[in-house]
Amino acid sequence: MAIKNNVMIVRQKLLTKLIELWKEDQLVAKIDRLPLELSPRNAQPKGRCCIHKERAVWKYKSLPLLGYDMTDETDELTPLSDYARRALERDRNLKENIMCVIDEACSSCVRINYDISNLCRGCVARACALNCPKNAIDFNKETGQARIDHSLCVSCGICHNSCPYHAIVYIPVPCEEACPVQAISKDEHGVEHIDESKCIYCGKCLNSCPFGAIFEISQVFDVLQSIRRGEKLVAIVAPSILSQYKVPVEQFYGAVKAIGFTDVIEVAQGAMDTISHESEELAEKLAEGQPFMTTSCCPSYIEMAEKHAPDLKKYISSTGSPMYYAARIARRKHPDTKVVFIGPCIAKRKEARRDECVDYVMTFEEIHSVLSGLGIEFSEAQTYEMAFTSIRTAHGFGQNGGVMAAVQAHVDGKLQFAGLQVANLTKKNVNLLKAYGKTGKAPAQFIEVMACEGGCISGPCTHIAYDQGKIQFNRELAKR
């Protein structure tokens, strides 16, 4: 999360309300009235045309939080209580897609990307019209100003580049603008859709949508119901948790334990295995003459290589991520439990699908709502000390440069290599990485790649803003 905005506050508020109902064993009985309570008759709608539209949006935003999406609605008259009942009765959420778009909420962005402002002087050059490949530009007979026929415009941008007055403005669609791999686009009705064959689950679209129309499919109620049924669950918590709360991390672990988890294990413990294996693999690859090797910790980067840069795959480390090793530590310690990864990342849901040792994934945003909804206070939770103390560099995996620093510390000067950090999978960085794969040439022998700008501490599903999280993370890391 780069910045905090009302969309994120609303998302957390809705999930917290649902969890409060679950705690009271009233989720099925009272969920149908929730949209009315959140947007009462005399309330002023925020960004919607009317209160009825806002209530409809509340309803449909509840679906992904219950583990469903818009495709699960076959009858518009099906009440939320029916979805809630099925969510509580199912054994596990098995939906294939990781993310979804709420059609009702995705209705306000422009369908075209270019328009002509009143800066147009109606000049004699007519460069905009003469260069338009679709003849979509004509001129007002009275004012002489240019205008675009949007039924013909294909948003190529040629007119924008041709205008000497810069009178033609580019109007972005935030989610499309944010996506580094063009995995989201409008259908014929103007509603955005995510192409799972292209999506790398970086989550950039999730927080860029100003109307909160994009959601991930949650597993919160699958986890809570497992706990209610008396099943044993172990929480493995990502190192970036150090960025989330202004309390000792042991206090947070105690609060997680109070939810009903059997045990809490730091993913930083798994990161120690990643450090040793990655260091050894780097030495082997360079000795064999491979020109460079990239990290393998970021699942969004792995998805990018798999779907968009196949030439790059042979240069990616085969070492498992910290989650991979932490999950196996949890299984060895508690053979008869389910493992729940807790972190800031959407793409971990995809990685977990490929890992038989990880049963569920919860985000920091979700765990924050769970703690709020269940009324668990840090001040009242007993601290929970880790049985195993992870080294400082393992906790450092939570921010960009952390993997690089850990490997450098591990080899301790015995292996000389040039390093490069690629933090933030923008369109430009994706193209750079593609070029490294195609040419087999890179400006460094070891490349750390993270999809998020500051590493995991700026992940799409953190619950505080990145700038605050970075300060908190470095403060806590210094104590390790």
* CATH number of the domain that residue 207 is part of: 3.30.70.20
Residue 320 placed within a domain: yes
Q: Which two tokens stand for residue 96?
A: 């294939």
Residue 150 placed within a domain: yes
Residue 126 placed within a domain: yes
247 and 335 in a common domain: yes
118 and 265 in a common domain: no
Range of the domain at 348: 222-477
137 and 281 in a common domain: no
* Gap between the Cα atoms of 295 and 218, Å rounded: 28
307 and 187 in a common domain: no
Identify the CATH number of the domain in which residue 248 sits.
3.40.950.10
Give me the pLDDT at residue 338, please.
Answer: 97
Q: Which two tokens stand for residue 195?
A: 């192409």
133 and 101 in a common domain: no
Residue 130 placed within a domain: yes
Give me the pLDDT at residue 110, please.
Answer: 74
* Gap between the Cα atoms of 383 and 385, Å rounded: 6
Residue 75 placed within a domain: yes
368 and 415 in a common domain: yes
CB atoms within 10 A of CB 284: 11
Give me the pLDDT at residue 303, please.
Answer: 98
* Gap between the Cα atoms of 434 and 456, Å rounded: 22
* Gap between the Cα atoms of 68 and 70, Å rounded: 7
- The answer to whether 309 and 434 have CB atoms below 8 angstroms apart is yes
The pTM of this model reads 0.92
* Gap between the Cα atoms of 443 and 452, Å rounded: 21
E strands, 128-200, in order: 137-139, 146-148, 168-170, 184-186, 192-194
* Gap between the Cα atoms of 62 and 36, Å rounded: 13
Give residue 23's identity as a one-letter amino acid code: K
Domain count, the chain: 3
Residue 443 placed within a domain: yes
Residue 1 placed within a domain: no
270 and 212 in a common domain: no
* Gap between the Cα atoms of 16 and 368, Å rounded: 8
Mark the ranges of the chain whose per-residue pLDDT is less than 70. Answer: 1-4, 47
463 and 394 in a common domain: yes
Give me the pLDDT at residue 32, please.
Answer: 97
191 and 153 in a common domain: no
Give me the pLDDT at residue 1, please.
Answer: 53
208 and 187 in a common domain: yes
Write out 136-178 in H/E/C secondary structure: CEEECCCCCCEEECCCCCCCCCHHHHHCCCCCEEECCCHHHHH
For 4-30, write each residue's pLDDT tens digit: 677 778 889 999 999 999 999 999 999
325 and 460 in a common domain: yes
* Gap between the Cα atoms of 319 and 295, Å rounded: 8
395 and 326 in a common domain: yes
Domain boundary among 152, 170, 188: 170
